[in-house]
Chain A
Amino acid sequence: MDELINKRINEVLKGDQSAFEEIVTLFQHRLYHVCFRMLSNRQEAEDIAQEAFVRAYMNIHTFDQKRKFSTWLFRIATNLCIDRIRKKKPDYYLDANVPGTEGLTMYSQIAADGELPEDVVERMETQERVQYEIGRLPDKYRSVIILRYLEELPLKEISDILELPLGTVKTRIHRGRGALRKQMGNL
């Protein structure tokens, strides 16, 4: 597998664009899956996953062929996803007072429409529910939980993808699991 990919990469390096098509075909589902889980939106996931492939193509000469290509590709994609999530966020502070109110903060506003009533959540299908719970996680926990439990990657690879020390990845997974347990409460 790695040998085949490196062969295709060398062809791309020589200027053969069509060799890249095979690479895209091989990784499209995994990359799209990660993006979809991160962004919870099909349109955005497609856009970001495609953008990740385009960036990979443009920067293919910087890829070190002794390393794993999927790790490099996932890194590009997760970085793009995190950027997109940050851009989507409103640039006001959550604990700022809502103008014209007293003692009402943005937190309560978010809680009012960001979280669904319990009975709605309970009626969700499993797949919908998983996505909903992942979407509620803070982004730093979201990426590690997705890579760990949905992509089923080893901790070492997650640390390579996110360029974080192994210890930090472990801590984030622990906290992410803890947060999931709390937000899901009664399963």
Chain B
Amino acid sequence: MNTCPEHIVHYMHAYLDGDINRDEERQLNEHLDKCSACSEIMAGLSETVAFMELAKPVQAPEGFVEGVMQRLPKEKSQVGIRRWLRSHPLLAAAAMFLILMSASVFSSYGNDQQFSVSKQPNLIVEGETVIVPEGEVVRGDVIVKNGKLRVEGEVDGNIIVINGSKYMASTAVVTGTSEEIDRAFDWLWYKIKNTVKDVIPSSLKKEQPVEE
């Protein structure tokens, strides 16, 4: 082996690193063919490399990531809120919507304490009591806000009483549905339904409030 030129060992490594040119490779092969000592070294090196490549990757233990995160210095809380908003955009938008909606709806609920009734010619209004007279047919929906409704005749439509009470005589006939809305929640629901109905064109006639 001492007689072998030093560049041969160099070529062996160059070969293993994959940066050998054709001429060098030819010289290396020629030498290995006639020198058993060098071809033994070459075989040993190749085996070593092959053996190293048998090493399997080792996985980080469980909880590794959490461990790192715990070791990090604490971040500022302001960032936390911003990130929460960013990571839950829908939730944030919904919350914002609800806050604004309830503000406007509840304020109008408070302002809307006046007595009003839908305008039909044959309705009788006595104080805060609205009467559907016996023998008469009232066409269209009857809506009473902040007042009482007595039905003695016939209503060809729906009856809606908001913040009030309703009395149905034995002679009363209602072709549509009849609902009473008392609590703020019901009222909110009614408002939402109406908004939807307003947005989507429908045949529903708008109520026309009458001042007492």
A residues at B contact (CB < 8 Å): 14-18, 20-21, 24-25, 28-33, 36-37, 42, 46, 49-51, 53-54, 57-58, 126-127, 129-131, 133-134, 145, 149-150, 155, 170, 173-174, 177-178, 180-181, 184, 187
B79 close to A16 (CB less than 8 A): yes
Asked if B127 is at the interface of the complex by the 8 Å CB criterion, the answer is: no
Give the CA-CA distance A4 to B59 in the complex, in Å: 23
Question: What 7 A-B pairs are tightest by C-beta distance, nearest first?
Answer: A32-B60, A149-B52, A174-B13, A17-B75, A28-B60, A130-B55, A181-B44
Residues on the A chain within 8 Å of B55, using CB: 37, 127, 130-131, 134, 149-150
- The 8 A CB mask of B60-90 against A (1 = contact, 0 = none) is 1100110111011101100100010000000
Residues on the A chain within 8 Å of B69, using CB: 17, 20-21, 24
The B7-59 residues at the A interface (CB cut-off 8 A) are 10, 13, 16-17, 41, 44-45, 47-49, 51-59
Output the least CB separation between B38 and chain A (Å): 13
Residues on the A chain within 8 Å of B48, using CB: 177, 180-181, 184, 187
A177 close to B68 (CB less than 8 A): no
Residues on the A chain within 8 Å of B45, using CB: 177-178, 181
Give the CA-CA distance A142 to B71 in the complex, in Å: 29
Residues on the B chain within 8 Å of A30, using CB: 57
Give the CA-CA distance A13 to B49 in the complex, in Å: 41
Residues on the A chain within 8 Å of B75, using CB: 15-17
Give chain A's interface secondary structure class. helix
Give the CA-CA distance A42 to B73 in the complex, in Å: 25
Output the least CB separation between A136 and chain B (Å): 13
| Extra inter-chain contacts (7) besides given A20-B69, A150-B52, CB under 8 Å | A25-B65, A37-B58, A149-B53, A174-B10, A177-B13, A181-B48, A187-B47
B64 close to A32 (CB less than 8 A): yes
Give the CA-CA distance A149 to B55 in the complex, in Å: 9
Residues on the A chain within 8 Å of B76, using CB: 15
Give the CA-CA distance A173 to B57 in the complex, in Å: 20
Output the least CB separation between A147 and chain B (Å): 12
B44 close to A155 (CB less than 8 A): no
Residues on the B chain within 8 Å of A58, using CB: 73
Known contacts A15-B76, A42-B61: does B56 contact A54 (CB below 8 Å)?
A: no
A46 close to B60 (CB less than 8 A): yes
B54 close to A126 (CB less than 8 A): yes
Give the CA-CA distance A148 to B166 in the complex, in Å: 88
Residues on the A chain within 8 Å of B53, using CB: 149
Give the CA-CA distance A134 to B52 in the complex, in Å: 9
The one of B13, B16, B58, B71 that contacts A50, using a Cβ cutoff of 8 Å: B71
Known contacts A178-B45, A187-B51: does B68 contact A32 (CB below 8 Å)?
A: no
The one of B16, B51, B79 that contacts A130, using a Cβ cutoff of 8 Å: B51
Give the CA-CA distance A150 to B56 in the complex, in Å: 8
Residues on the A chain within 8 Å of B57, using CB: 29-30, 33, 150
Output the least CB separation between B75 and chain A (Å): 4
B79 close to A17 (CB less than 8 A): yes
B58 close to A32 (CB less than 8 A): yes
